[in-house]
Amino acid sequence: MEGRAEAATAPITGHCYCGAVAVRAMRAPEVVAWCHCDDCRRVTGAPAAAFAGFAEGHLSFEPDEGRAAPGAPGVRRSFCAECGSPLASRFDYLPGQVYVPLGILDQAGEMEPQLHSYDSRRLPWLHIEDNAERLETSSRKRLAGGSAGGEESGRMRR
C-alpha cells in the first residue's frame, strides 16, 4: 500500500447515529475524498460530503448493512434501518470499493481528504482551505486508482 490515507491505523471503527450499526475496517482506506455533488449532499444532509473508500472485503457492518435505498443507476447506498444514517455507497464504476461517510468513523480526524470531487458543484459560500486536488467533476479515475497504483499526478500534493 503506498497509502495516501495511511495516517489512520487499522482497525478503523465507527457507528451510525443511533448506534444500532457498527462498522469496522481491518485496513486503512484506499482513498479519502470530498464530494460536492448534489447526490452526496442529499445523502449526508451536509453542505459537502466526505467519504473514505475501503477495499470491499476489509470492511464489515454489525449486525448488517441496514437498508438499501433506491438511487441513481449504478449507485447503491445503504442506511441504518433505525436512524437513517448513511452507511455505505457503492458505485458500479468503482468496483471493489465501498465508500463510508467520514462522519460515522471514529478515526475521521486522521483521514484528511486528498481530493475534492465535483468541485464545480461546491456551494459558493463553502471555502475549504487545503491542498487537496480539486476536480471539476467526477474523480472516478483517481478514486479507482486506490492503493493499487493508477495515476500518480496530484497525489500527495502538499
What is the closest distance, in whole angstroms, from the C-beta atom of residue 21 to Zn ion in the complex?
5
Instruction: Using CB under 5 A, pick the residue from 32, 50, 80, 98 that binds Zn ion.
Output: 80
Cell triple for 85: 444514517
Q: Could you identify the residue written with the cell 482551505?
A: 129
How far apart are the C-alpha atoms of 78 and 100, rounded to whole Å? 10
DSSP 34-45: EE-SHHHHHHH-
Nearest to 143 by CA among 117, 110, 119: 117
Q: Which is nearer to Zn ion, 18 or 148 (CB)?
A: 18
Per CB under 5 A, does 6 bind Zn ion? no
Per CB under 5 A, does 16 bind Zn ion? yes
Residues 6+ apart with CB under 8 A from 4: 31, 32, 114, 147, 155, 156
Instruction: Using CB under 5 A, pick the residue from 7, 18, 26, 69 that binds Zn ion.
Output: 18
Per CB under 5 A, does 5 bind Zn ion? no
Q: From 9-17, 24-32, 70-78, 93-101, give the range in contact with Zn ion by CB under 5 A.
A: 9-17
Residues 6+ apart with CB under 8 A from 109: none
What is the closest distance, in whole angstroms, from the C-beta atom of residue 9 to Zn ion in the complex?
25
Per CB under 5 A, does 43 bind Zn ion? no
Q: Which is nearer to Zn ion, 8 or 48 (CB)?
A: 48
Nearest to 127 by CA among 47, 42, 50: 47
Q: Which is nearer to Zn ion, 18 or 156 (CB)?
A: 18
Name the site residues for Zn ion (rule: CB under 5 A). Answer: 16, 18, 20, 35, 37, 40, 80, 82-83
